[in-house]
Amino acid sequence: MLKKKKLPEATIPTSSMADIAFLLLIFFLVATVIDVDSGIGMTLPEFVEDVETVEVPKDRMAAILINETGDVLLDGEPISLFQITNTLKPRIQSKIDLPKNKKLIVSIKTDRKTVYNAYIQALDQVKSAFFEVRDEYSNSRFGKKFNDLEDTEQNEVKDAVPIIISIAEPEKVNK
Amino acid sequence: MKFEKKRASTKQEIPTASMPDIIFMLLLFFMVTTTLREVEVLVNYSLPEAKAIEKIENKRLISYIWVGKDGRVQINDSLVKLDEIQNIMYAKRQALPNVIVSLRVDKNSDMGFVTDIQQELRKAYCLRINYSANVKI
């Protein structure tokens, strides 16, 4: 007589399933990036009706002009967009030891017809000049990069190398 | 006299087979109820690229202004005119005093237009702005 063999109990161990689900959940929680906003931060000046003009000594100012074709003038001399960082760096560095009211001011002025991208590129160059100087300064003082410093140290560097960028209003062109 | 603990004769096991189901239920519940506040962007724009960019840590403070290729301006979920910006942004600033305005401007826009928006923001006292840009590689 053929006798059917008794089948062994066929079960999948399910107790660890929860852990697997948890692992999956945690993996996706960690790996998901909800897109972070990044950009170039600026602070606008307050709006005042009558603008008082203050004379600033010439060696304190770096005036950047961008025209509608994207040509750049730095203090009256034509310059390529990508040279701005390297040209500004020594000028910022030379003013590190000066008091607060003598630091370099970078003024960016555009035409009304200037392309926004050109303006952002110029602003980017100026910002990276300031950031590089900050990094080098904190490296020589604290032996660390600016972003790795403690808050108090960061403020010290910020006082030494403040980022002063002035956005000049485009002149109204009479048509 | 020997003390012996009385033990229940029933099985002392928690059934764990349904545990994954419970966790999946939880996961699904949170997935369904979470809303990533996503505004439908009505304008077409492409951001400029930059290297020296900072991340904004506090997402709660950000309010966006979009400027499209065709020069249309969007705040919140609707398109607005240039002279409406001041009132909208002033109301926003009153609700959230240290609001950061993120300008998502198309890279081929005219600077004159961007400056007009900035002037409106200055009138509304929204002074912290951020030019949104992608990371240049």
**In the predicted structure, residue B129 carries a pLDDT above the cut 50:** yes
Task: Kindly list the residues from chain B whose CB atom is less than 8 angstroms away from the CB atom of residue A43.
Answer: 127-129
Could you tell me which residues come within 8 angstroms of residue A126 by beta carbon, excluding any fewer than 6 positions away? A64, A84, A85, A88, A106, A108, A165
pLDDT digits (tens, 9 = 90+) for B4-60: 777 667 777 777 778 778 888 888 888 777 766 667 788 888 888 888 888 877 777
Structure tokens at A142: 């604290």
Q: Do A116 and B125 touch (CB under 8 A)?
A: no
Task: Kindly list the residues from chain A whose CB atom is less than 8 angstroms away from the CB atom of residue B36.
Answer: 34
Structure tokens at B80: 């607005």
pLDDT digits (tens, 9 = 90+) for A29-63: 777 766 667 888 888 888 777 767 777 777 788 88
**In the predicted structure, residue A4 carries a pLDDT above the cut 50:** yes
pTM score of the predicted model: 0.75
Cβ-Cβ pairs closer than 8 A, A with B, add up to 148
Average pLDDT of chain A is: 82
Which has the closest alpha carbon to B127: B89, B80, B72, B79? B89
Q: Does A2 touch chain B (CB under 8 A)?
A: no
Phi then psi for residue B110, to 5 deg, are -80, 145
Q: How many Å apart are CA B23 and CA B58, to the nearest integer?
A: 31
What are the CA-CA distances from residue B78 to residues A88, B46, B81, B87 (Å)?
Answer: 42, 19, 10, 14
Q: Does B41 touch chain A (CB under 8 A)?
A: no
Q: What is the topology classification, in CATH, of domain A58-167?
A: Nucleotidyltransferase; domain 5 (3.30.420)
* Other beta carbons less than 10 A from residue B94's beta carbon: 11
**In the predicted structure, residue B90 carries a pLDDT above the cut 80:** yes
Give the whole-number percent of chain B exceeding pLDDT 90: 1
| Domain range B49-135, CATH architecture | 2-Layer Sandwich (3.30)
**In the predicted structure, residue A174 carries a pLDDT above the cut 60:** no
Enter the ipTM: 0.72
Could you tell me which residues come within 8 angstroms of residue A63 by beta carbon, excluding any fewer than 6 positions away? A73, A74, A75, A76, A107, A109
Lowest average pLDDT, out of A62-66, A120-124, A164-168, goes to A164-168
Q: Where are the domains of chain B?
A: 49-135
What average pLDDT does the segment A117-143 reach? 89
